[in-house]
Structure 1
Amino acid sequence: MKITIIGHNYFPEDSGIGLYTTGMAEFLALKHEVTIITGVPYYPQWKVHAEYANSPLFSKETINHVTVYRFKQYTPAKPTFFKRVLQMVHFLMGSVVNVLKIKKSDVIIVVMPFTVSIILGWFLKICKGGMFWIHIQDFEFDAALKTKVPSKHQITSKILFQIEKWTLNRADFNSTISKGMMIKLAHKSSVDSIYFPNWIDYSIINPENVQEHKAFSSTTFNILYSGNIGEKQDWDFYMAFVTAMQMHPEFHFYLVGEGAKREEIVQQLQSLGNFTYCPPVPYNQLNDLLCQADVHVLFQKPEFKDLVMPSKILGMMASAKPSIVTGHEDSEIKNNFEHSQGGGYFHENSIETVKQVLLQLKENPEIAKSMGLRARQYVVENFALESVLPQFEQDLIKKSKQFY
């Protein structure tokens, strides 16, 4: 099949949505002719990567058998709600040129966000035909409205939701990455939907292949958060917890990543003796980082339930180390931890509760080891690359046969 993918984030971005869009495209390219329409890489630093800083407005590459058409989109250094909207619109307008370069598509896949990219896919379908598939990684408008959107912009927000509803119903099929998001999607679109979760390459995130990572101290119990430092995590609780744990110098907190909240958090915590910030590590070093932590933490804002599914959870669990996670009491992530028994999940942000769990894990290394192994077993059984991606390809072929 000739497959065209439209997604704003792509290689060499090696975290978040770009990582999964790249993995999907390259897997499909093993048997199909795959083209992607994308932007220049900027995530998670919110700065165009150095190797693309001087690239032209439009460019074309071939990467691992995938034809890549890029448009150099506007990238705000400090993303706000409306700067992100401006980025979306700029990408939409510029990428129309790249869409017109596609001669034929049997399947068109749009990765959301950006929601407005769906318009590109629909335009391509009208012009050249093909089955139109929308894959939702993030309900971006809902998530944005959970953050700081001034009341004077509520009219704009209503317009955006109308755009989202209209665009989602242009597809022939939709998919998304969690069961909770499937339910959310059913309220937004009447189109048939398929569960297509993110996956883990457990041969890469593998504690048996770990090498010493220079980030950690060998004399402390090391607690890691690695990933996007953005609005969807509860950083107020994180900062309060790190501050409160100063009385336990045997614990050390490592914050690894980049994002809109990084500067604020590091500024408040950098003077504390139990806290260290490190910039994002390359993907080929991620295994060493994740597998050498003693415990992973992820403190989520409960209001983001069913709007996103943090893919970092898969890497945390695959590292064979226990995790401590907070979030909504009905979260799908909670179910993952209850079934795997690979860590602790709490719907209340209690400093004392999380502290007691950390103390127990430090004092009982065999319990911590058992938790970690159960977590890894769970993601290998349920989210392995070699089962998720072939199933998606089968769904794609099956639906395309029905379509044609």
Structure 2
Amino acid sequence: MRILLHSTYYAPELTAIAKYNAEMMRWLQSRGHEVRVLSTAPHFPAWKVHDGYTAAWYSHSVEDGVPVWRCPAFIPRRPSGLQRLVQIATLTLSSVPAMIRQAFWRPDVVIGVEPPLLCFAAARLGALLCGAKVWLHVQDLEVDAAFDLGILRGRRARQLALGVERLLMAGCARVSTISGRMAERLLAKGVAPERLFMMPNWVNLAAMPASASGAAFRAELGLPPGSKVALYAGNMAAKQGLETVVEAARLLTRRQDLHFVMVGDGVGRPRLVELAQGLPRFHFLPIQPAERLPDLLALADVHLLPQRRAAADLVMPSKLTGMLASGRPTVAGAEPETELGRVVEGRGLRVTPEDPAAMAGALERLIDDPALAAELGAAARRYAVETLDMEAVLLRLEQELQTLVRPGR
């Protein structure tokens, strides 16, 4: 098969959607398929173009064996809602001539990834021009999240955005997503059940051994022997509600044995650093190279996964897969009826979202009860092995792609 991926996010970005896009395309290529990627300059989550790349004009390279075309786009340094819309609009427009060129390659399937949804318009155009099947993969329900989190406002603006969403989803050969609750929302938006495909975010278990050690990170941070670590590693933006972690740390300053570590980048990081000033045993680290991820996650005695209440079931934190595979328990801000709450139950402790006292209490419970922490961590690892293995998830994807392009479909 010839498979063309169109997404704003791609390697060498190390986080979230970019990571899954790159792993998927490299895996498909390793299976003998011809793959190409249409993206823009790597810039997320710091909103700064990586050295050696440009967002000012088109470029082409072969990265880890995968041909990648990068389109120009406006990259705001501190993105507001309006600036984010301008960025998406410029990338959508600049993708059109690149997509027209790719249509001459005649891909069998064009895959677009949301967010951002608007860029999927270029993928739809490319598929139309060459008669390819079009596939939308939904990592976040971007439209709902933008309005529910207050990033965008206005009844008419929401109606317009939802109308564009319906238009772009209509006629897709497949719409896939990463959680059951998000699938339910897509059905409510009019996606036909026979066109809906479940594709959870996965974890490369071969690269995430249970024997990974956080000793190197403990040495770098200068942690005393016997210290306990509460770890958050991921994007630092609005939907996470990361202030909850800082306030939980403030409530636990009496715990001389407990260190908080936050790893990552994003528009919210400067504010978090400011909030955490003066807190003892609170550490910040930059995004780490992919090869250090297993040891980073093994640094944790407990993972922290806060989330704003308004984001429930609009997003499914991609970082959760690595947390589960690490064999450590997670304290997650999630209501019991949400997808996140369901997954964490029995593999960590679920607390009320945006409640620092609840997070602090659950964290202290796990720190003080190592037998419970070990039991929940082992259950988390089993869940990752049984349901999130990259090879199994991508084999299902390959089978669905082959079914889709079969003659007569």
TM-score by length of 1: 0.94
Q: CA deviation at 1:270?
A: 2.3
Q: CA deviation at 1:402?
A: 6.3
Choose from 354, 372, 375 the match for 1:367.
372
Aligned residues of 1:111 and 1:134 also touching (Cα < 8 A): yes
Q: Distance in 1 between matches of 2:371 and 2:60?
A: 52
Task: Structure 2 unaligned segments of length 5 or more: list them.
Answer: none
1:297 is the counterpart of 2:295: no
Residue 406 of structure 2 corresponds to 401
Larger displacement relative to structure 2 (343-352 or 7-16): 343-352
2:223 alignment counterpart: 217
**Residue 156 of structure 1: CA displacement?**
2.7
Name the SS for the 2:298 alignment partner. Answer: helix
- Identify the residue that residue 180 of structure 1 maps to in structure 2: 181
1:346 matched to which residue of 2?
A: 351
User: Which residue is 2:93 aligned to?
Assistant: 93
Which has the larger displacement, 353-362 or 223-232? 353-362
Q: Secondary structure at the match of 1:200?
A: coil
User: Which structure 2 residues correspond to residues 1-20 of structure 1 after superposition, within 5 A?
Assistant: 1-20=1-20
Q: Which amino acid letter does the alignment assign opposite residue 333 of structure 2?
A: T
Look up the match of 1:68: 68
CA–CA distance in structure 1, aligned partners of residues 287 and 250 of structure 2:
23
Deviation, 1:239, is 2.6
Matching residue of 1:376: 381
1:149 CA displacement:
4.0
SS of residue in 1 equivalent to 2:262: strand
* Aligned equivalent of 2:161: 160
Q: How does 1:308-319 map to 2 (within 5 A)?
A: 308-319=315-326
**Cα shift at 1:150:** 6.3
SS in structure 2 opposite 1:246? coil
Q: Deviations over 1:23-65 (max 9, x none)?
A: 1111111221111111110011111111214x76111112233
Instruction: Name the amino acid aligned to 1:386.
Output: E
Cα deviation, residue 327, structure 1: 1.7
Counterpart of 1:142 in structure 2 is 144
User: C-alpha separation between the residues in 2 aligned to 1:351 and 1:237?
Assistant: 5
Question: What one-letter code is carried by the residue in structure 2 that aligns with 1:371?
Answer: L
Give, in angstroms, the shift of residue 287 of structure 1: 1.1
AA at the equivalent of 2:28: L
- Number of positions where the alignment pairs a residue of Structure 1 with one of Structure 2: 400
SS at match of 1:203: helix
CA contact (8 A) 1:61 1:69 kept: yes
Preserved contact between residue 6 and residue 37 of structure 2 (Cα < 8 Å):
yes
SS in 2 for 1:10: coil
2 CA distance for matches of 1:400 and 1:189? 23
- In structure 1, stretches of 5+ residues that fail to align are none
Please tell me whether the aligned partners of residues 307 and 353 of structure 2 are also in contact (alpha carbons under 8 angstroms): no
- How far is the alpha carbon of 1:73 from its aligned partner? 1.4
Q: Equivalents in 2 of 1:327, 1:403: separation in Å?
A: 45
Residue 199 (structure 1) aligns with: 202
Change (3 A) 1:133 1:270: same
Structure 1 residues 354 and 157 mapped into 2: Cα distance closer, same or farther (>3 Å)?
closer
Call closer, same or farther: CA 1:354–1:150 in 2, change over 3 Å.
closer
Q: CA deviation at 1:351?
A: 4.2
1:109 equivalent to 2:111? Answer yes
| Offset at residue 357 of structure 1 (A) | 3.0
1:332 is aligned to 339
Structure 2 CA distance for partners of 1:5 and 1:308, relative to 1, 3 Å: same
Q: Which moved more, 1:302-311 or 1:386-395?
A: 302-311
Q: Distance in 2 between matches of 1:189 and 1:246?
A: 50
Report the residue type matching 2:9 in the other structure. Answer: N
1:281 counterpart (278, 288, 291): 288
The answer as to whether partners of 2:309 and 2:354 remain within 8 angstroms in 1 is no
- Write the distance in 2 (CA, Å) between the matches of 1:245 and 1:225: 16
Alignment counterpart, residue 263 of structure 1, candidates 264, 270, 291: 270
Rounded to whole Å, the distance in 1 between the matches of 2:208 and 2:152 is 41
Take 2:230 and 2:129, find their aligned partners in 1: how far apart are those partners? 52
CA offset at residue 235 of structure 1? 2.7
Distance 1:365 1:167, change over 3 A: same
- Once residues 374 and 148 of structure 2 are traced to their aligned partners in structure 1, the CA distance between those partners, rounded to angstroms, is 37
**1:212 alignment partner, SS class:** helix
CA RMSD of aligned residues (A): 1.8
Pairing 1:77-92 to 2, within 5 Å after superposition: 77-92=77-92
In 1, Cα distance between equivalents of 2:129 and 2:276: 53
Q: Tell me, what secondary structure is at the counterpart of 1:228?
A: coil
Rounded to whole Å, the distance in 1 between the matches of 2:244 and 2:333 is 10
Secondary structure at the aligned position of 2:211 is classed as helix
CA gap 1:351/1:130 in 2 versus in 1, 3 angstroms:
closer
